[in-house]
């Protein structure tokens, strides 16, 4: 019985050890190993299953550091899909990510990245540096969505702070050639440019400003919205005047 137990423990121990530490890569059209350039070229229907992530793509370049097993960076092309243990789901034509720096770049139309409660969408690029929490979303009709806020613009840059089950947006810069849009729990904001800082709880809106709150519609050239007090002040250039429209739904 003793011997049986010892053998059982050794066998199961080995199996689990292998499962934890192994990365399995399969391809339909071969693997090229470039020893001087230090990368693998994985061709056609590539599937990478590692303990920390799963990636599928048409073509993958996997860069290694000193040794062949030490993969540090991955560049995938064509129908790329990434699912990570850190609750990251990424879809794009190209997904490049660094395992060392915890950084991801998604390129292509209908790109998306979901990280816990933050959802990022773009038709050009999504770049996230997880170590610092910085993100850069570029491209026409880019979008960022959390449980509290929804932002649309050509350029959405910012910083988040990872909490236990959610990410808190700390800084935000939004810009659009025509008009950017921020939807909070109580307001719908439009402007060409917007800046948000969590420390001051202020959203600044620049140019072609329009604030919709319940039945109020206010337009101007510059606005400051206090997200904590749910109040705002709006200014106008000399040429334009601040306009306020109050809609009474009862009438």
Least distance from other proteins to the Cβ atom of residue 106, Å: 24
In the bound state with other proteins, the residue whose beta carbon lies nearer, of 33 and 244, is 33
- Euclidean distance between CA atoms 104 and 82, whole angstroms: 10
What contacts 148, CB < 8 A, 6 or more positions away?
Answer: 169, 184, 185
Minimal distance in Å, beta carbon 31 to other proteins? Answer: 4
Q: Judged by CB, which is closer to other proteins: 31, or 202?
A: 31
Q: First and final CA of the chain: distance in angstroms?
A: 87
Q: 8 vs 34, which CB is nearer to other proteins?
A: 34
Determine the Cα–Cα distance for residues 107 and 112; give it in Å rounded to an integer. 9
Please report how close the Cβ of residue 8 comes to other proteins at its closest, in angstroms: 23
Q: What is the DSSP letter of 242?
A: -
Contact 212, 220 (CB under 8 A): no
- Shortest Å, Cβ 69 to other proteins: 3
Nearer to other proteins, 66 or 229 (CB): 66
Specify the residue, 71 or 194, whose C-beta has the smaller distance to other proteins: 71
Footprint on this chain of other proteins (rule: CB under 8 A): 18, 21-36, 40, 42, 50, 67-69, 71
Nearest to 141 by CA among 106, 170, 181, 185: 181
- CA torsion, ordered 65, 66, 67, 68, to nearest 10 deg: 40
Q: Which residues of 51-61 are buried (b: 16+ CB within 10 A; e: fewer)?
A: eebebbbbbbb
Q: Which is nearer to other proteins, 43 or 193 (CB)?
A: 43
**Least Cβ distance, residue 110 to other proteins (angstroms):** 29
């Amino acid at each position: 019985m003793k011997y049986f137990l010892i053998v059982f423990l050794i066998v199961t121990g080995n199996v689990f050890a292998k499962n934890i530490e192994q990365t399995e890569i399969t391809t339909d059209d071969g693997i090229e190993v470039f020893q001087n350039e230090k990368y693998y070229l994985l061709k056609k229907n590539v599937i990478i299953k590692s303990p920390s992530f799963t990636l599928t793509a048409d073509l993958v370049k996997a860069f290694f550091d000193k040794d062949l097993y030490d993969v540090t960076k991955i560049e995938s092309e064509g129908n790329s899909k990434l699912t990570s243990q850190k609750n990251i789901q990424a879809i794009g034509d190209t997904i490049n990510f660094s395992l060392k720096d915890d950084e991801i770049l998604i390129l292509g139309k209908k790109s998306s990245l979901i990280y816990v409660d933050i959802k990022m969408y773009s038709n050009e690029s999504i770049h996230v540096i997880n170590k610092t929490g910085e993100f850069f979303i570029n491209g026409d009709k880019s979008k960022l969505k959390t449980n509290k806020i929804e932002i649309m613009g050509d350029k959405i840059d910012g910083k988040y702070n990872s909490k236990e089950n959610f990410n808190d947006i700390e800084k935000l810069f939004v810009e659009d050639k025509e008009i950017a849009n921020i939807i909070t729990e109580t307001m719908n904001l439009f402007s060409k440019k917007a800046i948000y800082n969590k420390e001051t709880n202020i959203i600044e809106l620049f140019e072609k400003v329009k604030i919709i709150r319940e039945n109020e519609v206010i337009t101007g050239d510059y606005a400051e919205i206090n997200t904590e007090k749910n109040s705002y002040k709006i200014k106008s250039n000399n040429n334009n005047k601040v306009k306020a429209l109050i809609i009474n739904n009862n009438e």
